[in-house]
Structure formats: structure tokens, C-alpha cells
Amino acid sequence: MKTILTPKLIKTLFWCIYIPVGLWACQQVGISWDEGIELNTYKVNLEAILGVTQGDLAPYQALLAYGDRYYGVGFHIPANLLSFLIETVSPISADLGSEARRITLNHIAIFLSWVGSGYLVGQILKRVTQDAWISTLGMIACLLWPYLLGHGLMNIKDIPFLFAWLLCTNQLLFILSKTQAKSLIGAYTLLGIFTGWLISIRISGVLISLEYLAFLLIFWSTRNKDQPSIQTQLAPSTFSWRSIGIFLLATSLTLFVCYPILWHNPLELLNAISYMSRHPWDGDTLTAGRFIAGTQLPWYIAAWLAVKLPLIAILGLVLCPIALYKLIRISSPSQHTLQKPSTADATEQSPWNARAIAALLLTVSLILLALVIKKVSLYNELRQILFIFPLLWIVAISSLRWINRKFTLGLLLSSIALFSWDNLKLFPYQYVYFNEIARQFPIATQYEKDYFGLSSTQSARWLNQNIQESTQALSAECVYVSPLHLWQYTIDNQKVACSKDFSERPQNRSASSQNQSTGQAYWIGLPVRDKVKALPIPNCTILHSEERILPLSSQTLVMSELYTCRP
């Protein structure tokens, strides 16, 4: 008698719950630090595009002079188109201004791209492990991983880029899985389109060439030249010059269309790579108890990977060499085939699985090595290289599967339960997730937390809801906050008529200032990071604190605090 529960049924039930809840959650998380800037970048590019089509080059000249001209809009254009269509059919709350409304609606496209990313993780796991249960539970666990899910609800830069990267990876694996000498022109055309779109989202998409190099080195160098009768070699069409030419043409055309800054001179691509690899950001990030620059590699990367990777991923990566050895050792010559096995038994697998795992691991290694050599600036932990996390997850889960399948299934089920608990406790700050070992240490004071600034939205909402109470603590003239632009998206100007930047607070003004002369109370709202730099804050008491407690830990993560003060 067949079991009622199947991987397909589990996935269907999961999607029926996950997608509706996620669509609701992405509208509730608030607005993050860079989203207003990204919206403006989209508008500058859109005006330039419309200007060119209408014969007016002035807007395009404005794009050439724009400070963030090298920030890609490959995702912004379809995301804002979707938001426009949704807004015309079902406008959201009128409490938000037009810009805040568009930013919030863009979260829908971001979340959908995250859903697509999870689906692709499942597809890649299925190709590498040939195991329906492992790929299904691996996909679900990845989609519930709080760190990535938190980004997936609102990160308009890094999640779409992650999605496009996985599109390229999955398409590449599809090409490499083909053993028949038939045309792959269509497959290479798609790979080129995906690659061009990836680079148009962020210029760091050129790093995908390192993944292609890693796969070429692993698959081509390990082909069996001594046994041509066995299908261990790649099909003749796989790496034909014609296929590669089609790929390069599709990549170039897609990139040119989706990256308007190239229209006046395609060589601007080189300027974009040079500029973005030396991004003019000289800040620091609280890492392992110290404020350090993102150029302090590899210490910076290692410290963040150690606390952000789940324990199951760390275990799988540590055991990866054993899994590769086992896969290679158990493969006899008669089983060396690129064709998909009929069962999931490890003894019937080909070296293809080991090659795929090794190529993905080499990909991440080459990317991190390139960052170290170039001393590329990273900040706000590892959000700029967020795309390596799904790759590491795939390598880890695949490795564990080939070591012990039942053990891996148990670990995945446990991770799903723990991730679900974390999501409930941390919302909407899931991206501040730390693994279960890291959270046993004083992590709250050693690592960056609310670098996206979502707590500004939550604090402003709290003030909007509680200002009606006629208490002395909630009777004030003005609120002085950082960052001001995030508060202004949410704060109710009818209830709080005065909102100013933290630098303009009364103690920074002359004694003749209105607040000081009248003795009128005021509020201060600060992220914890800014609070540290602003101390001491005299004559102030905490009114509200945005905080979360990590499960299985006594750690309280404080994102921001709201004070009531008197001069």
C-alpha cells in the first residue's frame, strides 16, 4: 500500500500556506534603508529610457551624470511594472504616501523572486541528489531559513540577484546533464538571457563567469578519455563553439537592453566593474565585537559565515570531502554515466553528482578568493554576496545525503521545525538570525543587527498607535530620529506634526531654541547602533524598545529604542 504522503503532496501543501502568508508578511515588514534610493534610481533610468524613445536625450544625459548610474535596474523595471498593475487594481492603505506605497508593493515582486529561488534550490538539489524527499525537504528548509527569508521579504537588491544566479546555475546543470549529441542552441540562448539579466541587476553578476569556469574545469578535466564507449564524456554539442557563440551573443544583447547606461558606450561596462569593485563606502560593521571595515578579508567573511550558516549547513560543508570521496569510491567504471540513475541508491550513482558538488564548492571558493584578492568592500555583513548562501546550502545538503540519507532527513525535519520557531519569534527581523551555537554567546553586543532599519517603521507605528494616550510620557512637541527618511514614510503627521533628524535635537541647538525655552518634552528614536555613538543621552527615559528574543537562548536582540526627553 502506497503511503499517502508524497514529496509532491508535501510541496503542494507547503506552497498553499507559504505563499499567502509570505505575501501578507512582505506588506507588513516596513521599509528598509535603501529602498527609497533604489526607487529613485529606477525613476532616473525610466525617464532616460522614455526620453530616448521620444527623441529627448536630456533625461539620458541626466542618467550619465547620476551618482548611482552603475546600479542596475534589471529587476526594478519588472518589479515596478507589477506594482503599478497591482496598485491600479487594488490600492493599499491611503495612510502611506505614493512613494511608500510603491516601495511596499515592490515587496511582492521581491518575495515572488525569493519563492522562485527556493524552487530552484529544490530543482538543483534534485539534479544533484536524485532524491525527491531530500530535494523537497531541502527546498522547504531553505525557504524557511530565517536569515534568507528575512531578506526575501524586502531586499530589492540582493534577493533578485540571488534568484537570477540560481536561474543560471540550474540552466547550466541542465546543459551538463545532456549526453545526447543534439543541438543545445535553445538551452544556451536561455543561459545567455539569464546571465545578461543577472549582470543588469548588479554588475557583480560578472562573477558568474567564475562559476562557469569552475564547472568547465571540473566536468571537462574529469571526462574519461580512455573509455570512449562509456558515456562519461560530454556530448559533442555541449561545449561547441557555435553554442558558446550563441551564449555570448544572447548575454550581450540582454545586458545591453536591460542596462541603459551602456547605450551610449558599451565600454561603460568596464567602468561599472571598476567603480563597483571599489565602492566608495568607508563605513564599518560591528563584527565579533569590533567595528571593522568590509575590506578586512577573509576575517570579515569567516566571522559572518560562522554565525549565519545553520548548523546543518556547517556540518554538511565540514563533511563534504568525505561525501565526495564516498561518491567517487563507490562508482565502478560500468556505472560512469551522465544519465540519470533509475533509483536514489548511492551505489547506482555516477561521478556526475560528485562533479556537481565539487564544482559548486569550487565556485564559492573562487568567488571568495576573488573578493579577497581585489579587496572588494563588503558592509552590512554579507548581504552583497548573499547568493553564495544557497550554493553552500546545496553543497551541504547534497553532501549529507550521500553520507547518510536517513540522518539527513532527520536533520532537515529538525531544521524546518527550528526555522519555523525562529520566524515566529523574530518577525519582521528574521535577517538578524544567528545559529543555535552563536546565540549561546553574547551575540547581541557583538554583531550588527537591524542594518536595514526596519525598526524605524515598527517604532513609528507604535508611536502612531499610542500617541492617543494622554500621558505625560506621550506628550511631546517633536521627534528627533535616525534615519529620518524611514520615519517619514510611516509617522502620522497629524499626530506627530514635527519630525526632524537626530542631529537637530535640542541639546545641539542654542539655549534660545523653542523647545529649551518652553521646556517642552521631545522624543528621540534611534537604532541601537546609532545610540551607541550618540551616548550619553541626558534627561531621557526609554518609552519603547523594538526587541526580539532568540529561541533556545537568553539573548535579547534590541533593534532600536524610543525615548521621551526633557531639555
Q: Cα–Cα distance between 369 and 169 in angstroms, integer?
A: 20
What's the length of the chain?
567
Tell me the pLDDT of the chain (567 aa) as tens digits. Answer: 466 889 999 999 999 999 999 999 999 999 999 999 999 999 999 999 999 999 999 999 999 999 999 999 999 999 999 999 998 887 655 567 889 999 999 999 999 999 999 999 999 999 999 999 999 999 999 999 999 999 999 999 999 999 999 999 999 999 988 765 567 889 999 999 999 999 999 999 999 999 999 999 998 776 654 444 333 455 555 667 888 899 999 999 999 999 999 999 999 999 999 888 877 667 788 898 888 888 888 889 999 999 999 999 999 999 999 998 888 777 644 444 434 444 444 434 457 888 999 999 999 999 999 999 988 888 889 999 999 999 999 999 999 999 999 999 999 999 999 999 999 999 999 999 999 999 999 888 889 889 899 999 999 999 988 876 544 455 667 899 989 999 999 998 888 888 999 888 876 544 344 444 456 788 899 888 766 666 677 788 889 999 999 999 988 899 999 998 887
Question: What 3 state SS string does 155-175 have?
Answer: CCCHHHHHHHHHHHHHHHHHH
Residues 6+ apart with CB under 8 A from 417: none
CA–CA gap between residue 33 and residue 385 (Å, rounded): 18
CA atoms within 13 A on the CB side of 94: 0
Alpha helices in 27-53 (DSSP H): 35-53
* Beta carbons within 10 angstroms of residue 398's beta carbon: 31
Strands (E), 221-288: 285-287
Q: Alpha-carbon distance 100 to 492, whole Å?
A: 13
- What are the helix and strand counts (H, E) for the chain? 22, 7
Burial class (CB in 10 A: 0-12, 13-18, 19+), 295: middle
Q: Rg of the chain's alpha carbons, rounded to an integer?
A: 26
Each domain of the chain, given as residue ranges in start order, spans 7-438, 454-565
